[in-house]
Structure 1
Amino acid sequence: MRLIFGLVLALGIALAGFAVHMAQGYISQAQAERDYLRQAQAQAPVLVDLVVAKRPLQYGERFSMSDLTTIRVEAGKVPEASFSQIVAPMTPDAPVKPVFFEGETRPRAALRSYEPFEPLLATKITEPGVDAGIMANLSPNMRAFTINVDLATGVSGFLRPGDRVDVYWSGRSGDRDVAKLLETNLKVIAIDQSADADRSEATMIARTVTTEVSPEQVAALTLAQSAGKLTLSLVGAADTMVVGAIEIDRDSLLGIVAPQEAVKVEAPRVCTIKTRKGTEMVETEIPCTN
């Protein structure tokens, strides 16, 4: 009996030791996992809210708060002019401007097409209550000026709203045929009657191109268009060159040299004095005094 009791006691002590060992291992593993999670959380990137379209939006389509949602993205990797709030109170010192202020019931319109969950950009939507169009694309204090173009002068239909162009003038200046660079890096805001940068008529030849200019440029381009022909030149997206004054006439283009006028060479002036010697008249050369 004592032997059985001793065996049971020994077995109980062994099981208790094994349980303590297992518990210590479990605790150590839990502590290691906890430390790993804390380290991973410390190294994890900071996430911020980003407002995106909840459904597809076409150019000019109106949208409201119900058409938007937010997703979490890594801080520092959000597009410029994006939004972090759909709606917020109107406070003058608010660090972030929302898409809509509280109490705003007017919809906004898309200035380009959007796919679902694509970030909304302040530069690609109108203000509340404003429909998409040329007026919505104009920068403050700027004007819209329309240039008549054709296949040769309109970059063969490859222009899109948002592109940049240089404007050249060609015509008669005095008695010369001249081509001259008038304006550089003008923003195109509409092709014909469309301000949609995603228009599908990829090869349609435009009849008019509307650019964003200052009031002074409006006057200059109006005079130039009435006095000659305007031609557009597409500026590359990565272009950083500063273009100076450019003017060329037909003669310099073709290498024609104007004939030089004949130079009159005057004969040297000779001054003389005549004296009489007897019956003969003698002429003697003397220095000229005037």
Structure 2
Amino acid sequence: MRMVFALFLVLGIALAGVAVYMAQNQIARFQQERDYLLSAQQNAPLLTDIVVLKRPLKYGERFTMADLELVKVQANKMPPGAFTRVTAPQGSKEAQTAVFFDGETRPRAALRSYEPLEPVLRSKMTEPGVDAGITANLAPGMRAFTISVDVNSGVSGFLRPGNHVDVYWSGSLEGRPVSRLIQNNLKLIAIDQSADADRSEETKIARTVTAEVSPEDVAALTLAQSTGRLTLSLLGMGDTTNVGAIEIDRNTLFGIEETTEAVLEQKKVCTIRNRKGGEMIEVEIPCTN
């Protein structure tokens, strides 16, 4: 009986040791997992809300707050002009990053096409109650000016709303043909009657383009368009280089050196003839014409 008791005692102690060993291993594993999760949490990027669309939108299509939702993105990966709230009280600090004010019933309109879950950007939508069009693309204090173009002056069919162009004037100055850069880096807001930057007519030749200009530029371009021919030069995306003054005339283009009136006057010699006895003498005199 004592042998059986001793055997059970030894077996119990062994099982207890195994249980303690397994528990220690399990606790150590839990501690490792906890430390890993804490480290990952500390190193994880900060997340923030961003407003996205639930459904696709075409240019000019209206949308309301029911078409929007919030998703999480890295705070340092927010695109410029993105929103972090669907609605907020008018006049509050949060309203600066909200798409709509609380209680707003007027829809907004898309100024470009959107895909589902694409972030909504302030520059790609109209204000509430405003439909897409030229007026929605104009910055405060700016004006819309339309320029007539063709296949030669309008950069073929490559122009799109949102592009930037240089404007050259060609005409006659003081009786000589001249081409001059008169406007640099103008933003186009419409092609023909369309302000849609996603238009699909890839090869369509525009008849008119509408640019965003200042009131002073309106006067300058009106005069330029009525006295000569305007030609557009398309700028590369993101190109803000100031090229300075550019003017080319016929003589500069072909390398012709123009003779001045002073040089002609020096080369011109005027004389009179006088008879002295039986001899004819030529005497130089100042040229009168």
Provide TM-score, normalisation by structure 2.
Answer: 0.89
Q: What is the correspondence of 1:150-169 to structure 2 with a 5 Å cutoff?
A: 150-169=150-169
Partner residue in 2 for 1:261: 264
Q: Deviations over 1:164-204 (max 9, x none)?
A: 00001111112111111100000000000000000000110
Residues 1:109 and 2:112 aligned together:
no
The worse-fitting range, judged by mean Cα deviation, of 27-36 and 108-117 is: 27-36
Greater C-alpha Rg: 1
Q: What is the correspondence of 1:142-153 to structure 2 with a 5 Å cutoff?
A: 142-153=142-153
Query: How far apart are the structure 2 equivalents of 1:230 and 1:266?
Result: 48
Q: What is the correspondence of 1:206-225 to structure 2 with a 5 Å cutoff?
A: 206-225=206-225
Query: How far apart are the structure 2 equivalents of 1:241 and 1:9?
Result: 91
Partner residue in 1 for 2:8: 8
The worse-fitting range, judged by mean Cα deviation, of 245-254 and 209-218 is: 245-254
Query: How far apart are the structure 1 equivalents of 2:93 and 2:73?
Result: 25
Secondary structure of 1:76 counterpart: helix
State the Cα distance separating 1:262 from its structure 2 match. Answer: 4.4
Partner residue in 2 for 1:273: none
Contact 1:50 1:84 in 2 (8 A): yes
Partner residue in 2 for 1:93: 93
- Amino acid of the structure 1 residue aligned with 2:223: L
CA RMSD of aligned residues (A): 1.6
Query: How far apart are the structure 2 equivalents of 1:107 and 1:68?
Result: 12
Partner residue in 2 for 1:42: 42
Residues 1:61 and 2:64 aligned together:
no
> How many aligned residue pairs are there?
267
Contact 2:89 2:95 in 1 (8 A): no
- Amino acid of the structure 2 residue aligned with 1:226: S
Q: Deviations over 1:237-282 (max 9, x none)?
A: 1424221111111222122333451424689xxxxxxxxxxxxxxx
Secondary structure of 1:17 counterpart: helix
Q: As a proportion of its length, which structure holds more helix?
A: 2
Pair 212,240 (structure 1): closer, same or farther in 2 beyond 3 Å: closer
- Amino acid of the structure 2 residue aligned with 1:197: A
Which ranges of structure 2 fall in alignment gaps of 5 or more residues?
Answer: 272-289
Which ranges of structure 1 fall in alignment gaps of 5 or more residues?
Answer: 268-290
Q: Deviations over 1:32-79 (max 9, x none)?
A: 211111111111111111111111100000001111111111111111
State the Cα distance separating 1:234 from its structure 2 match. Answer: 0.4
Contact 2:59 2:110 in 1 (8 A): yes
Contact 1:84 1:96 in 2 (8 A): no
State the Cα distance separating 1:124 from its structure 2 match. Answer: 0.3
Partner residue in 1 for 2:76: 76
- Amino acid of the structure 1 residue aligned with 2:121: L
The worse-fitting range, judged by mean Cα deviation, of 128-137 and 96-105 is: 96-105
- Amino acid of the structure 1 residue aligned with 2:235: V
After the TM superposition, which parts of structure 1 deviate over 6 Å for at least 4 consecutive aligned residues?
none
Query: How far apart are the structure 2 equivalents of 1:177 and 1:265?
Result: 32
Partner residue in 2 for 1:192: 192
Residues 1:126 and 2:129 aligned together:
no
The worse-fitting range, judged by mean Cα deviation, of 90-99 and 46-55 is: 90-99
Provide TM-score, normalisation by structure 1.
Answer: 0.88
